[in-house]
Amino acid sequence: MSTSQPSFVDSDPSGARTRTSQRRSGPIRSILILQTKQIGDLVLSSALAKNLQLEYPGVRIVFLCDARFASLLTANDIASEVVTFRRSHMRGTPLRRAQELILTLVRLRRHHFDMTIDITDTRTSRFISGLVGARLRVGYHPSESPLRWLGRRSANVKAKPFGYGGQHFLHRYLSPLEALGIELRVRDPDIRPLPLQTTKALMLLERFHLRPNGFVAVHAGASFPGRRWQPERFAAAIDRISAETGLDVALVGSPDESDVAEKILAAAKTPIVSLVGALPLETLPALFKQARMFLGNDSGPMHMAAAVGTPVVGLFGLQSPVRWGPVGVPSIAVRPPMPCDCVGGDLCERPDPNKACCVWRLEVDAVADAVLQLLARTEVGLEAAV
């Protein structure tokens, strides 16, 4: 099924009062965005950062994020700077957690932020936002993880859980703009890789004899096994797509997804280029920019491909594409009929969409048909690709 594009409203009745209050309290020179979740969340949050840059020319946008993702933000001009934390330490012993939290707070307070925007909305992020010391502190109301004793301090500008009348998580991450009365100028994530990353991507394509705009980028990984469409089905879909279009296929992913890639390579009849582990995270958007299309599971790389303007076919299970589908580009979200007859056995932990195996029910022809349909819709076929 095709994902519908989010609709937006460009104004908020309280916006004028908020903006006037901001001007009286002084200029906005530095903003901290607390986004400690995963790659897809960071990509969607880039639209928030871009609107803030347009509203406050010269502002310094700093993200608080997992150390693994820092280079993605700085190498693609999403953030001016990044303050990192180590997720493994935050999930460690109480002592290690306390040490990591204190070190993070010390690094953040050195920046003397004028505004903090907490779009993570956890107890920890609200605690950090309250102690950073910014005069403007934006948070969600109601919060998903309220802290009663720090509630007033953690946010003095309250954003709706989902702004602009939308349901997609993009609307959640744009909602602070509505609360601040800022005009919405950038409606979707729009990542433009810097020249250095583009050069690296083109060199990699040349090394593996891949033509710009002549290959499909396939990501078969995901954080949980139940969210990964079966490797043998990926292989069968790739065989049909390649046979009917003449497009090359490149597998992408992190080094720890090499086992999935090896299963696809073993099962496919079509020659496939494996770039799994061959390029750093910060270069992945530049690679996707050169691809004709992206095919992959509901994961961060799917949002990354959409953000650089590449058409996307995303594979979904229990998690709804209405909330998490690709935005801003021609796309098709393929999802099995719901409710789902469980196929995951003891592995499946419904109702958590992040631990459900519904995507395993997708058939090969449904996925291949979606790719061929989207290729036709975007006016590229065999003749244009070769």
**d(Cα 71, Cα 334) in Å, to the nearest integer?**
31
* Mean pLDDT value across residues 358-378: 97
Mean pLDDT (the chain) is 89
| pLDDT of 191 higher than 80 | yes
pLDDT at 143: 86
Residues 248 and 225 sit within 8 Å (Cβ to Cβ): no
Q: Which residue has the tokens 């820092």?
A: 70
User: In angstroms, how far is CA 260 from the centroid of its own chain?
Assistant: 21
Beta-carbon contacts of 175 under 8 Å, excluding residues fewer than 6 positions away, are 140, 159, 160, 161, 162, 163, 164
**d(Cα 284, Cα 159) in Å, to the nearest integer?**
32
| pLDDT of 297 higher than 80 | yes
Q: Is 332 helix (H, G, I), strand (E, B) or coil?
A: strand
* Mean pLDDT value across residues 59-76: 95
**d(Cα 66, Cα 304) in Å, to the nearest integer?**
17
Ramachandran class of 328: left when φ > 0, alpha when ψ lies in -120 to 50, beta otherwise: left
Where are the domains positioned within the chain?
Answer: 15-180, 195-381
Assess whether the region 15-180 and the region 195-381 belong to the same CATH fold.
yes
User: Tokens standing for 223?
Assistant: 């954080």
| pLDDT of 298 higher than 50 | yes
* Mean pLDDT value across residues 33-51: 96
User: Structurally, what CATH architecture does the domain formed by 195-381 represent?
Assistant: 3-Layer(aba) Sandwich (3.40)
CA atoms within 13 A on the CB side of 205: 25
pLDDT at 379: 77
User: DSSP string of 210-233?
Assistant: --TTSEEEEE---SSGGGSPPHHH
pLDDT at 146: 65
Percent of the chain with pLDDT over 70: 89
Residue 10: phi, psi to the nearest 5?
-90, 5
- Beta-strand (E) ranges in the chain? 30-34, 60-66, 81-85, 115-118, 136-140, 157-159, 215-219, 248-252, 273-274, 293-297, 312-315, 331-334
User: Structurally, what CATH architecture does the domain formed by 15-180 represent?
Assistant: 3-Layer(aba) Sandwich (3.40)
Cβ-in-10-Å burial (0-12, 13-18, 19+) of 124 comes to middle
Residues 4 and 335 sit within 8 Å (Cβ to Cβ): no
